[in-house]
Amino acid sequence: MLDSSDADLARHARQGMVEAYGELVRRHQTSVFNVCYRLLADLAEAEDMSQEAFVRAHRRLDTFDPERPFGPWIRRVAANLCLNRLQLKLTTQVGLEDEDDLPATDPPPGPEQIHEAHERSQAVRAAILSLPPHYRAVVELRHFHDLSYEEIARALRLPVSDVRSHLFRARRQLARRLTPDGTLSHGTS
């Protein structure tokens, strides 16, 4: 079981072997959890949604093509689930014109947190998590799922022009929070 490929495990899981699916979960749970965490910005909620994503994906295993990699498929299932969860927040956002001035859902990291983020990549994650949900969504789909503007627009049910401007503003906020060496810049939020 341990040395089986993802495709073989998916085939076994489709035939009803729960243990095979368990192995797929073990292999992909961290990346799926990180998708949920980047979108929801809440550890406990991200864990719950990751679990839910795996259970739901099992029901839809017949739509998975074993010729293609399992990782991106399951991450996309998790992203869709989290985006549905975020949909309310996305649709209740008002006044898109001045969104740069809107406070982020989570407070931006303060100087202490910044200094604690020793590693560059952790600083990037902290900056992404500090974005408002609709900005996190476009960043996630563009940077971690490699979707085009059109595909993001379809996934989020937004016009392409909104996707373009959300992405631009999200990146501008990230650029303000990150210095060129990858640490969060001070007093930019």
Partner 1 sequence: MERSRTGHPDPLLLQAYADGELSTAEAGGLEAHLRGCAGCRAELTALQALLRQIGTVAEEPLRRDLSRPVEAALRRRQRLRTFPWVAAVELTAGLAVGSWAWPLAERSLRAILPVIQAASRAAANGVLTSWAADWEALQISIGQALRPDLPGLLPSLGLAQAAIMVAAGGAIWVSGNFLLLRRGAAR
By CB under 8 A, name the binding residues for partner 1.
16-19, 21-23, 25-26, 29-31, 33-34, 37-38, 43, 47, 50-51, 54-55, 58, 119-122, 124-125, 128, 139, 142-143, 148-149, 164-165, 167-168, 171, 174-175, 178, 180, 182
- C-beta of 157: minimal distance to partner 1 in Å? 19
Q: Which is nearer to partner 1, 85 or 120 (CB)?
A: 120
Number of other CB atoms surrounding residue 164 within 10 Å: 15
Q: Which is nearer to partner 1, 83 or 167 (CB)?
A: 167
Q: Which is nearer to partner 1, 165 or 189 (CB)?
A: 165
Cα distance between residue 70 and residue 14, in whole Å: 13
The secondary structure of 123-184 as a DSSP string is HHHHHHHTS-HHHHHHHIIIIIS---HHHHHHHHT--HHHHHHHHHHHHHHHHHHB-TTSSB
- C-beta of 143: minimal distance to partner 1 in Å? 5
Q: For residue 74, what are the CA distances in angstroms to 9, 37, 40?
A: 14, 15, 17
Whether 73 and 27 have beta carbons less than 8 Å apart is answered as no
Q: Which is nearer to partner 1, 89 or 171 (CB)?
A: 171
Cα distance between residue 108 and residue 55, in whole Å: 33
- C-beta of 1: minimal distance to partner 1 in Å? 12
Q: Which is nearer to partner 1, 50 or 105 (CB)?
A: 50
Q: Quick one: how far is CA 91 from the chain centroid?
A: 18
- Comparing C-alpha atoms, which of 188, 185, 140, 189 is closest to residue 167? 140
- C-beta of 62: minimal distance to partner 1 in Å? 13
- C-beta of 178: minimal distance to partner 1 in Å? 6
- C-beta of 68: minimal distance to partner 1 in Å? 21
Q: Which is nearer to partner 1, 63 or 92 (CB)?
A: 63
